[in-house]
Homo-oligomer: A and B are copies of this chain.
Amino acid sequence: MTLPAIAANRLADLQAFERAILEKQPQIEAWFRAQWRAHTPPFYGSVDIRNSGYKMASIDMNLFPGGFNNLNPQFLPLAAAAAQDAVERACETARSVLLIPENHTRNTFYLQNVYALSQILRHAGFEVRLGSLNPEITAATELETALGDTIVLEPVQRTRERLHLADGFSPCLVLLNNDLSGGVPEILQGLGQVVLPPLHGGWITRRKTDHFAAYNGVAAEFAALVGIDEWTVNPYFEKISGLDFQEREGEEQLAAAVERLLAKIQAKYDEKGISDAPFVIVKADAGTYGMGVMSVKSADEVRSLNRKNRNKMAKVKEGLAVTEVIVQEGIYTYETLHGAVAEPVVYMMDRFVVGGFFRVHEGRGTDENLNASGMRFVPLQGNIATSGAGDDDPQALAQSKRAFEQWESLGLPQTHRTDECESNRLYVYGVMARLSLLAASIELEQSAAPAGAA
């Protein structure tokens, strides 16, 4: 694998950051172990990382990751071992898992992800069957995945407090690979089985700002441990509520927040001698798949949104209206692969990093969101397919401009090396991703309490 190149004038910053982390590797791992004794890791997760050299952080944490098909098969043994821990933690005597995928049936990349995830669980020694919530699935249905594998969707049924399939298959663990953007269907409510991720982790109730509030605490503790400025690993953010983009309600509050954040970033840039122009990302506080996202460099950009862009911001997946946003400090991406901006995506199962890849986008700038609406993953190599998701439009898939580069190693730190080294860079990404995973674990604990266990 080619490691992305970092811009020449950012290399020294990145190397200093990497060294600071590598020098504390045993302390960092001991700290993570202690954290995982206090907090239950999410079943799985994926994290988007941004890296400007002088700053590196998670900017998004997905509790319902697609794209397991994107991971290097060489990491499968580790993923399977991690899955054993994850399943046993949920249900000690589990022998099988009922996996609930998204309702997509024509997005063969997503189906490939379902196949890959099932295979990880099978390799871990669990029987896996797929229970679909899709009303079109009324009988066991064979579907072909992007790479020609076969999966069988079966209609999920419910009897009293248990989900099951037609023949009575009813394991104690129900694993969601469906982010519940459209709300929690009645059939999933009040089950006696363990449901993971928990229902309150779905986007109908989850908020990005809750995640980053939990992340604040994690980042502060981590920064103190490593002896770095917390800002280096933690983007500023604010939450703005009561918005209606189409009616232009709350526009001024949003613009004011953008202004405040830009000023805070500028102050930090001045302190650090960074000459970049600050920018912020405005994102739906609930939602995924890069919908409802914009990159902004001045408050006026928020005030002068045209109808088309207001419409784009107004709704996310499943038509959910956007009334709350997170305004988040933007982190420049100074990493490029093959001349194109590259963003690391890290996958985790239980408390372990089990793979990753770089999103690569040729048409995008360093301050734009690569996970934007309408964008699709496309295979970089013939034998690797990736998750598109979002909808089932094969046309859109075909028009994709997205590429990615799969990790070929897993970031085992080479602490004695001080030069540029793939293992060390990937290790540092993995640390950043696990900070966000830990924040998600704390976030889920906190959100479980007031709402009542789902």
Contact = CB atoms under 8 A, between A and B. Distances in A.
Interface string A159-176: 000000000000000000
A125 B32 contact: yes
Interface stretch (A80-88, A205-213, A272-280, A392-400): A80-88
Given A34-B93, A77-B75, A81-B81, A25 B125 contact: yes
B77 A410 contact: yes
A28 B410 contact: no
A77 B85 CA distance: 15
A127 B410 CA distance: 20
B127 A26 contact: yes
State the oligomeric state as a number of copies.
2
Given A75-B77, A78-B77, A81-B82, A413 B34 contact: no
A438 B253 CA distance: 64
Nearest to A37: B92
B76 A412 contact: yes
Interface in A11-50: 25-30, 32-34, 37
Interface in A291-328: none
A222 interface: no
A236 interface: no
B415 A122 contact: yes
A237 B57 CA distance: 60
Contacts of A77: 75, 78, 410, 412
A45 B76 CA distance: 22
Interface string A64-96: 000000000011111011101100100011011
A34 B26 CA distance: 32
Contacts of A352: 81
Contacts of A415: 122
A124 interface: yes
A120 to B, nearest CB: 9
19 contacts: A26-B96, A26-B126, A26-B127, A29-B124, A29-B126, A30-B125, A33-B84, A33-B88, A34-B93, A37-B92, A74-B74, A76-B412, A77-B78, A80-B412, A81-B81, A81-B82, A122-B415, A123-B412, A123-B413
Interface of A: 25-30, 32-34, 37, 74-78, 80-82, 84-85, 88, 92-93, 95-96, 122-127, 352, 410, 412-413, 415
